[in-house]
Amino acid sequence: MPSTGDGGRMTHVRLYHEAPGAPPSPAPRGVVLVADDEHENRAMFARLLAIDGYEVQTAADGPSALAAIERHRPDVILLDVQMPGVDGFEVCRRIKLNPATRLTPVVMVTGLNERQNRIKGINAGADDFIVKPFDTEELRARVRSLIKLKRYTDDLESAESVIMSLAQTVEARDAYTEGHCKRLAAYATALGEALHLSDEDLAALYRGGYLHDVGKIGIPDALLLKPSTLTAAEFDLIKQHTVIGERLCGNLRSLGRVRSIVRHHHERCDGSGYPDGLRGDNLPLLAQIVGIVDVYDAVTTTRPYRAAGPPERGYQELLADVAAGARRADLVETFISLGRAGRLAKRAEAIPGDGTVPAAALRLA
């Protein structure tokens, strides 16, 4: 029978006894973290969950629970409400604020008739509740279904990370565009924040910065890297990167807002852009933002056919677009004031270049 070995604050419960020469233990069905300040409760949960073959981690207080989550990335977390240090509500809030753990199901363990605690738990983002004293079969069934749910979200996250890797492969094909995706993610979120957009929109701008040109994976190198002027037919092919990219984003719900950025980042308000020639308000705001920062980055970085221009040249190009009716004046003016205040460069330095979406990166100003 597993033991919670209560010597330390955070304990790994062994479920499989490995005799010398015995075949390797089967992989656990999932990792469950039990955070409870009472030893008896931890031992009881561990015994129950061991029946279904889960690896159980335990923690006796809030800080240990947060450390265990960081280290073991559990599939389901059972959280007692009252714990010393950081209580269960605060642990839950932090789990749900962290992009790396926000999709991990959290079950809060409360006493009977603790209506206030349930409300606080819901506000903290808890996914489910177990009321003490609880039915053991019910607990096992709930954990089983939450583990299944976690597997689905894991699959979706890996699908998204494959697309992110594709975007970085596209960037790596062209030495001149090194760092382009990261800068676009940085500039677009800086502009989005200055416009007071929601966290969801900022996350979409961040991903859109990385993914906007993912469709270039379907364009031949000879065309993409051609140093001389493109023929009209060649340019038509290049334009297809917007359509290919949108298709690559597929039906992933997490990329719902990003898909229109990928398709429409080359549209212009006067209808002269591509692929759909959208006009005015028909042009999605997030795509307009990525379009603006894309033009700025192209002008201010070195290309095969010319050297990098200073920021002021980037601003002038954008203002010329405004004068021609191709871009919204308010968006461009806000962007320029951010640049002149040094906030674009600051944001680009502060975010990681690996395509992950750090919570802090969305609000740095």
The residues that touch Fe ion, with contacts defined as CB under 5 A, are: 213
State the distance between the two ends of the chain, measured CA to CA, in whole angstroms. Answer: 53
Q: Closer CB to Fe ion, residue 121 or residue 291?
A: 291
**231 DSSP assignment:** P
Q: Considering only CA atoms, which of 192, 201, 208 is closest in space to residue 266? A: 208
Q: Which is nearer to Fe ion, 61 or 213 (CB)?
A: 213
**Closer residue to Fe ion (CB): 193 or 213:** 213
Q: Cβ closer to Fe ion: 88 or 273? A: 273
Nearest Cα to Cα of residue 330 among 279, 274, 288, 276: 288
The tokens for 211 are: 């993914």
Closest contact distance (angstroms) between CB of 332 and Fe ion is 18
Q: Report the residue closest to Fe ion, judged by CB.
A: 213
Structure tokens at 52: 């279904």
For the CB of residue 291, give the shortest distance to Fe ion in the complex, in Å: 9
Q: CB 342 → Fe ion: shortest distance, Å?
A: 27
DSSP line for 221-241? HHHHT--SPPPHHHHHHHHHH
Q: How many other β-carbons are positioned within 10 Å of the β-carbon of residue 342?
A: 10
Output 36 or 297, the one with its CB closest to Fe ion.
297
Structure-token pair, residue 27:
């992989």
Of 120 and 263, the one with the shorter C-beta distance to Fe ion is 263
Q: Least distance in Å: CB of 297 to Fe ion?
A: 11
Tell me how far apart the alpha carbons of residues 185 and 190 are, in angstroms, rounded to a whole number: 9
Beta bridge partners of 33: 57, 77
For Fe ion, the closer of residues 127 and 213 by Cβ is: 213
- Work out how close the CB of 213 gets to Fe ion at its nearest, in angstroms, rounded to a whole number: 4
Min dist. Cβ of residue 177 to Fe ion (A): 10
As given in the structure block, the two tokens for residue 200 are 């969801």
85 phi/psi in degrees, rounded to 5: 85, -95
Helices 329-340, 285-300: inter-axial angle, 10-degree rounding? 50
Q: What's the closest the beta carbon of residue 239 comes to Fe ion, in angstroms? A: 9
